[in-house]
């Protein structure tokens, strides 16, 4: 449809609303469409993909932050040593699934050796980096796909995201992937050795012992594999997805599930020893100290349970949601919460000793090195605190590009 005559009309008519509307019809229509798109995008604005991850030792502090990168800091003063990747590779994207915000999307906590650092990305890459310089040594790509009909037209690529940290055991690296596969690779070269199909996404880091591998899957199952033969020994049904790593103490495996339960399972046979019903999702990895299991539920309650019987000893309620496992040192539990507070609790009585308030939600497990406690906020800030009293030693803030 052409409106070439409208300019002529306008010359003859000093003010004519219809003519103006006619002339700008396309622009008005376009404006309406853009408004609709903006509203649609706003309607499904995505929550954060994940939360930061931390690892530290005496040499450096490593944080995977919500800018999708890994940052290395000097533990003494918080100055940045390096960042990987140095430049963001922004991918175009629109809408709720759009990976538009970030580049590689490194969110899982890194695993450390003397020389190397291993970290997985949402794009399905696992990187081995030089710890001192942050330079890449190798990368491993996980990407399982299901072949479809019509010459592969309906081939379905599974979500390759690596959400849990890789687990290092000697020279072997165990990489959990949301594509339902546990990849086992050579830590020195990144060469694939074997893999295990879990039947659903694996979000949690595998728990590796001398002779067993425990793999938690989102299909509600905890699998126990024989390390040598790579065969499945048993599977335990947790009646809910298991998003976090189980904990092993003695001959018992402890795990939480989104079925709102905490379980104690015989590590050899997979038989249930006890279960504790929480009020909401038991997302975090339980922490076992001596004869007590500390398990949290997402609605902000931390429970202290008897490791033998599962009986509740005490509970503590934070003001916000809790996803992370508390850190522990010297009879003190350090519990981060969505309400921006880090709670220091007496591990025996469950009473609060002090609290530190950050500038954003705290969703990641803090890391304790010596007398310093490191934690990362959802606003890309990393803090070093005095573990004794919660006093801030330094703070680092990443400026988003």
Scanning residues 9 to 28, which ones bind other proteins (CB under 8 A)?
A: 9, 12-13, 15-19, 21-22, 25-26, 28
Q: Which is nearer to other proteins, 332 or 341 (CB)?
A: 341
Which positions from 77 through 106 interact with other proteins, judged by CB under 8 A?
Answer: 93-98
- The owner of tokens 């290395």 is 72
**Residue 159 touching other proteins (CB under 8 A):** yes
Which positions from 168 through 187 interact with other proteins, judged by CB under 8 A?
Answer: 178
**Residue 260 touching other proteins (CB under 8 A):** yes
CB neighbour list of residue 151: distance below 8 Å, 6 or more residues apart: none
Least distance from other proteins to the Cβ atom of residue 4, Å:
10
Q: Which is nearer to other proteins, 154 or 194 (CB)?
A: 154
List, edge to edge, every strand of the sheet that includes 352-357: 327-329, 332-336, 341-346, 352-357
Least distance from other proteins to the Cβ atom of residue 82, Å:
26
DSSP string, 98-151: -GGG-SS-B-SPPEE-SSEEEEEBTTSEEEEEETTT--EEEEEE---EE--HHH
Which positions from 305 through 334 interact with other proteins, judged by CB under 8 A?
Answer: 321, 323
Least distance from other proteins to the Cβ atom of residue 169, Å:
24
Which positions from 375 through 394 interact with other proteins, judged by CB under 8 A?
Answer: none
Q: Which is nearer to other proteins, 175 or 187 (CB)?
A: 175
Q: Which is nearer to other proteins, 156 or 399 (CB)?
A: 156
List b or e across 130-160, with b for residues whose CB sees 16 or more CB atoms inside 10 angstroms: ebeebeeebebebebeeeeeeeeeeeeebeb
**Adjacent-strand bridge partners of 225:** 213, 232
Least distance from other proteins to the Cβ atom of residue 59, Å:
28
Q: Could you tell me how many helices (H) and strands (E) the chain has, helices first?
A: 4, 34
Least distance from other proteins to the Cβ atom of residue 218, Å:
5
Measured distance CA(2)–CA(106) in Å, rounded: 52
For other proteins, which residue of 139, 193, 239, 309 counts as binding (CB under 8 A)?
239
List, edge to edge, every strand of the sheet that includes 125-130: 111-112, 116-120, 125-130, 136-141
> Which range of residues in 44-52, 207-215, 267-275, 303-311 is near other proteins by CB under 8 A?
44-52
* Residue 184 · residue 197 · CB < 8 Å: no
* Tokens encoding 250: 């003695």
Least distance from other proteins to the Cβ atom of residue 21, Å:
5
* Tokens encoding 109: 């906590």
Torsion angle in degrees (nearest 10) through CA of 117, 248, 178, 49:
-70
Least distance from other proteins to the Cβ atom of residue 234, Å:
21
* Tokens encoding 191: 């060469």
Which positions from 339 through 358 interact with other proteins, judged by CB under 8 A?
Answer: none
Q: Which is nearer to other proteins, 20 or 188 (CB)?
A: 20
> Which range of residues in 70-78, 123-131, 275-283, 288-296 is near other proteins by CB under 8 A?
275-283
> Which range of residues in 67-75, 156-164, 183-191, 348-356 is near other proteins by CB under 8 A?
156-164
Judged by CB under 8 A, how many residues of this single chain contact other proteins? 73
Look at the alpha carbons of 49, 400, 103, 376 in this order and tell me if their dihedral is positive or negative: negative
Which positions from 195 through 234 interact with other proteins, judged by CB under 8 A?
Answer: 200-201, 203, 218, 220
Measured distance CA(141)–CA(223) in Å, rounded: 24
What DSSP character marks residue 147?
-
Q: Which is nearer to other proteins, 281 or 396 (CB)?
A: 281
HSE toward the beta carbon, residue 20, CA cutoff 13 A? 5
For other proteins, which residue of 7, 37, 317, 319 counts as binding (CB under 8 A)?
37
């Amino acid at each position: 449809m052409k409106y070439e005559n409208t300019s002529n009309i306008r010359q003859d008519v000093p003010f004519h609303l219809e003519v103006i509307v006619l002339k700008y019809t396309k622009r008005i229509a376009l404006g309406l469409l853009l408004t609709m798109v903006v509203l649609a995008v706003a309607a499904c604005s995505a929550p954060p993909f994940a939360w930061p991850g931390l690892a530290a030792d005496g040499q450096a502090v490593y944080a995977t932050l919500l800018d999708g990168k890994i940052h290395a800091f000097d533990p003494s003063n918080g100055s940045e040593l390096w960042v990987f990747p140095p430049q963001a590779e922004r991918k175009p994207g629109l809408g709720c699934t759009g990976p538009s915000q970030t580049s590689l999307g490194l969110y899982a906590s890194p695993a450390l050796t003397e020389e190397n650092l291993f970290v997985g990305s949402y794009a399905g890459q696992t990187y081995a980096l030089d710890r001192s310089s942050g330079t890449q040594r190798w990368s491993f790509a996980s990407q399982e796909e299901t072949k479809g009909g019509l010459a592969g037209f309906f081939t379905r690529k599974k979500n390759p995201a690596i959400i849990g940290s890789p687990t290092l055991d000697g020279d072997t690296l165990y990489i959990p992937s949301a594509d339902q596969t546990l990849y086992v690779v050579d830590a020195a070269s990144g060469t694939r050795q074997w893999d295990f199909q879990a039947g659903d996404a694996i979000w949690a880091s595998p728990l590796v012992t001398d002779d067993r591998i425990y793999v938690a899957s989102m299909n509600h199952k905890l699998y126990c594999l024989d390390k040598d033969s790579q065969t499945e020994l048993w599977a335990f049904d947790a009646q809910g997805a298991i998003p976090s790593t189980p904990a092993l103490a003695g001959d018992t495996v402890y795990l939480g599930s989104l079925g709102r339960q905490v379980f104690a399972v015989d590590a050899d046979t997979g038989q249930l020893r006890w279960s504790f019903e929480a009020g909401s999702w038991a997302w975090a990895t339980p922490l076992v100290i001596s004869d007590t299991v500390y398990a949290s539920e997402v609605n902000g309650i931390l429970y202290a349970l008897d490791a033998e019987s599962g009986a509740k000893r005490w509970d503590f309620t934070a003001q916000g949601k809790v996803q992370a496992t508390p850190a522990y040192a010297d009879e003190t539990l350090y519990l981060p919460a969505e309400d921006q507070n880090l709670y220091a609790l007496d591990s025996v009585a469950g009473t609060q000793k002090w609290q530190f308030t950050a500038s954003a939600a705290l969703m990641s497990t803090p890391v304790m090195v010596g007398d310093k406690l490191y934690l990362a906020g959802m606003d890309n800030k990393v803090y070093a605190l005095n573990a004794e009293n919660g006093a801030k030693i330094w703070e680092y803030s990443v400026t988003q590009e």
